[in-house]
Structure 1
Amino acid sequence: MAAKIDRRFYIFIITFLMSVLVFGQAGLSQEQNATVYKFSIRDDINATSWRNTKQAYLKAMEQNANVMLIEMNTFGGMVNFADSIRSTILDSPIKTIVYINHNAASAGALISLASEKIYMAKGSSIGAASVVDGQGEVMPEKYQSYMRALMRATAEATGRDPKVAEAFVDEDVDLPTLKEDGKLLSLTSKEATDIGLSDGEVSSLDEILTLENLTGSSMIVHQITWVDQVIGFLTNPAVQGFLIVLIMGGIYFEMTSPGIGLPFIVALVSGILYFAPLYIEGFAANWEILLFIIGVILLLLEIFVIPGFGVAGIAGIVLLVCSFAFSMVPNESFDFSMMPPNFLFRSFLLVILSIIGAIILSVLFGKSILNSRAFKRLVLADEQASSQGYVASTFDNEVIGKEGIARTDLRPSGKVEIDGKWFDAVALGGYIEKGTAVQVERHENYNLFVRKKFEI
């Protein structure tokens, strides 16, 4: 009887061990056949980083990737975009591993804490996540409180010590073995590994794959497309300022010359290049683009319909400035709670300086641009000379220099009376009110070009 029990016991043990071996090998094979999707965060956390992260996770899902591997080297950036990246990582069904290759400061620390695994290259660091402005000055308490809550919640969601995460933001958190009183917490790769915040110090990506049993996996490296590169270029502040100059310059030249021509096309294309990338990046909202359209309409009304320059013109300029500036700054219905105050100020300053620059360039170089060889290639320059049988007008050059009266408002086109005869005329220098004395400066085809008499 005892022999039978022993045999059954031995058979059970052997069967159990064989099952463990079979299932273990199956699990190992499954891990080795996994797909790893890799992308990098090497710059400041901003709209471009957020867009690249979204694109990476979407493509990883399309490729049925099992693991997302993020190689990180950043000193931080904008909290709102870091929070969006954090949420994407937490909500994704794909396992995320962050490889800190040198730095994960501030917003980078928040993103790292959202991942399932953190590995750090030897000599790397993580921490110092207090909210600061562009000059490095610590922001008021409401910003720090929000950041502390984000850090705690993220650490709790991924099973890490929330007190350590909070110490990255709050210098008053007591961690005597890790930091001095009154100092923010920053950890080296060894310190982070010793307290369990990091899953290990490594020398390369291959070592991470070995530790995660992914040595036989296929790896897909995220590629930045030309569209991403163009959007990144167009959202550069210097390029945005140049586009504003082109928009305002185009509007100016279009308003000072009759008809729709090249200046209008330049302004239109520049406006599209300015607003489209910001709209895609989540900066420009519909209402901000609407402000721009209304501002242009008010300026047109002021110049061509309403006499003088008053409320409509001033309101149009204000709306244009606001539409440009607000489009640069992410906000939810004027909620700038997570934006450093000087960030919005810098946006307004850039817009105002660009508009002033456009005005100065238009006044100084306007005539030379219109008469330049490059510009003339874009317009019809042929003349219909009288020697070839063409008749330019029904009046001769004796009318040039004569005085007359505006019989209608010139906006800029209208009617003038000279020597008892009425002629079609175009105002030079802006709006001319009905009844104003005018003087003929030149004529082209069937139009006289006139100015107010006191301007001569």
Structure 2
Amino acid sequence: MKQHRGLTRPSAWTLTRASAMATTVGAAFWAVAAFMTGVGFADEIPAATTSTTAATAPNGRGAIIPVSDEISDVTTESIKRRVAGALEEGAGVIVFEINTPGGYVTSALEISNYIKNLENVKTIAWVNTDAYSAGSMIAVACDEIVMAKSSTLGDCGVIMGGPTGPEEVPEGIRAKAESPVLEQFRDSAAKHGYDRLLCEAMVVKEHEVYWIEHVETGERKFVETGEKDRLLETDRKTSVFGLEVTAPSSKEPEWRLVKTAHDPVSDSEMAVDQPIDKATELLTMSQSRAFAFGFCKGIVSSEKDLAARYGLSLPIPRIEFTALEVFTRWLTSMPVRAFLMIIVMLGVYVEFNTPGLGAAGLVALIALGIFLGAPFLTGLANVWEIVIIALGLILIGVELFVLPGFGVAGISGIVLLLVGLLATFVPEEPGRFPIYWPSMEAGVEGLKRGVQTLGAALVLSIVGIVALSRYLPRIPYVNAIVPANPTPSEVMPSDPYDGLARVGDVGRTIGALRPAGKAKFGTMLVDVVSQGQLLDEGTQVEVIERMGNRVVVRPARSA
């Protein structure tokens, strides 16, 4: 998730599944941060009693809003639009059907706060099938969570990929990355009764969590190792002659580890492995564990189950992404951006090789606008990146049309242009603005995609330019846009003496020809040579042969 783009752009703090983040990108690239989100349940609520009676919609109206794929600024605005539409239709229950690997920090934070601030409507998170990262953050922000029979919730971590594999994020960067995520989960835990310790175990690995129960009352709660050892200790420490010794306790401990919990899917008891979260792992829960730990309130595998649980009328309206929202997200994909850059390069080539400002230049400008506009709308590009690109284009234009040669302006323009284009692929990192070398995984992966996209576009553009110059001019209709190369006869320079003294022209000698001299044809004075005769001054002569600047004359027949 992101903390940049002014107030709307995501940053390199991308919430993505921690297991996927563990893959080493390569020796040449650093990997970036991945955040997943988690939830918990209240200490005072025993896990066996977490399935509560669901509130129903008073008017039977509800709406399902799918939340899928990567969470971005487009997702944020889409959810706001769809929720507003559902409320206008009188929906009393809004179900967010979540199936996402994660997304951008600021997008998920904004969505979570938006959901929490909704009034006079019950919000349900239906995990079908995965709610990792930003998906978990959105899920715990809702009033209630239900899950499909085979689904997963949780997993939030901050790691950095290095040349030799995953590495710990530096403490300063780590604090910035974890702080807003932790605070959001803590707020959700307090608001909806989730266990705070489990929420923190989603984000940081330092927590080793145990699930214990009171021997007499059956009260269950989650504790860390130190608290578990204190409550379950069977030995007691005492002092003998000033020395501290450990002696067996005559009193049985009041607490014990939880061994089994109810599995709502199989409707039977399942074994509980202790600790439920190790200090070397991030807490991730299946639907059964989420139910046991107090996150999931019930198993819902179909819209029919939803309708029965919340008193909704079937069919429940589904409010999907609009075609424009889907199209905008599609425009930011790597193949599409590579294609747009190819169009830009080919359009510039054709424009520079044809007179005037034509269709090719217009197409190139439109393609460049889409190339920059789509990531800007999704929160991937920022204003400063577009400014750098514009400045680079201006410097290149100055080099081409104002300054002679190829120097500082041209090189600077190319560097700025490349930096700006690559930056549109790289999410920003908190506290590092505007130009920086990415250190988090999402930033490095974005830079890698940018290099791959622009590199592929450059290679394919060169192939396209060769095709445009050699083959396409021969294709009907295309040759009207791209003219064919001229023939040698068409590019041969005109005769500089053409029109001065043509064969058959008649003039008069200026001075004697012996046999070379000068003759005047009209107002033109031309060097001529006779066929060997000696001709007097003023003799009327006729051109009988001309080859380049050699003009051969003879006395005119009328002379």
TM-score (norm 2): 0.57
The unaligned stretches of length 5 or more in structure 1 are 1-27, 383-391, 401-456
Shift of 1:381: 6.9
What is the 5 A alignment of 1:107-118?
107-118=134-145
What is the 5 A alignment of 1:9-24?
none
Aligned partner of 1:5 in structure 2 is none
Q: Please report the RMSD computed on the Cα atoms of aligned residues, expressed in angstroms.
A: 3.5
What is the 5 A alignment of 1:53-202?
53-93=79-119, 94-132=121-159, 137=166, 140=169, 141=171, 142-143=173-174, 145-146=178-179, 147-177=181-211, 178-202=276-300
Identical aligned residues as a percent: 27
Paired residues of 1:329 and 1:344 also in contact (CA < 8 A): yes
Q: Which amino acid aligns with 1:106?
A: S
Structure 1 distance, partners of 2:476, 2:195, is 66
Paired residues of 1:242 and 1:354 also in contact (CA < 8 A): no
Paired residues of 2:380 and 2:425 also in contact (CA < 8 A): yes
Structure 2 distance, partners of 1:277, 1:203, is 36
Q: Secondary structure at the match of 2:317?
A: strand
Shift of 1:227: 1.3
Aligned partner of 1:243 in structure 2 is 340
The unaligned stretches of length 5 or more in structure 2 are 1-53, 212-275, 485-489, 498-559
Q: Secondary structure at the match of 2:106?
A: helix
String of CA shifts for 1:57-101, please: whole Å, max 9, x gaps.
Answer: 232243343222011122323333322322222233343101112
Q: Secondary structure at the match of 2:365?
A: helix
Aligned partner of 1:285 in structure 2 is 382
Deviating runs (4+, > 6 A) in structure 1?
Answer: 133-136, 335-339
Aligned partner of 1:436 in structure 2 is none
Structure 2 distance, partners of 1:274, 1:38, is 33
316-325 or 284-293, larger mean C-alpha shift: 284-293
More strand by share: 2
Paired residues of 2:61 and 2:313 also in contact (CA < 8 A): no
Structure 2 distance, partners of 1:167, 1:301, is 57
Paired residues of 1:34 and 1:217 also in contact (CA < 8 A): no
String of CA shifts for 1:386-414, please: whole Å, max 9, x gaps.
Answer: xxxxxx99x973269xxxxxxxxxxxxxx
What is the 5 A alignment of 1:43-54?
43-54=69-80
What is the 5 A alignment of 1:38-437?
38-93=64-119, 94-132=121-159, 137=166, 140=169, 141=171, 142-143=173-174, 145-146=178-179, 147-177=181-211, 178-212=276-310, 214-216=311-313, 219-331=316-428, 334=434, 340-350=442-452, 352-354=454-456, 356-357=458-459, 360-361=462-463, 364-368=466-470, 371-373=473-475, 376=478, 378-379=480-481, 397-398=494-495
1:124–1:301 Cα change, 3 Å: same
More helix by share: 1
String of CA shifts for 1:290-336, please: whole Å, max 9, x gaps.
Answer: 33333222222211221011121122222222332223344485397
Structure 1 distance, partners of 2:105, 2:355, is 48
Shift of 1:342: 0.7
Paired residues of 1:133 and 1:342 also in contact (CA < 8 A): no
1:287–1:223 Cα change, 3 Å: same
Paired residues of 2:62 and 2:312 also in contact (CA < 8 A): no
Structure 2 distance, partners of 1:46, 1:138, is 26
Q: Secondary structure at the match of 2:424?
A: helix
Aligned length: 362
Q: Which has the larger radius of gyration?
A: 2
Structure ranking higher on relative contact order (CA contacts 8 Å, 6+ apart)? 2
Structure 2 distance, partners of 1:152, 1:190, is 23
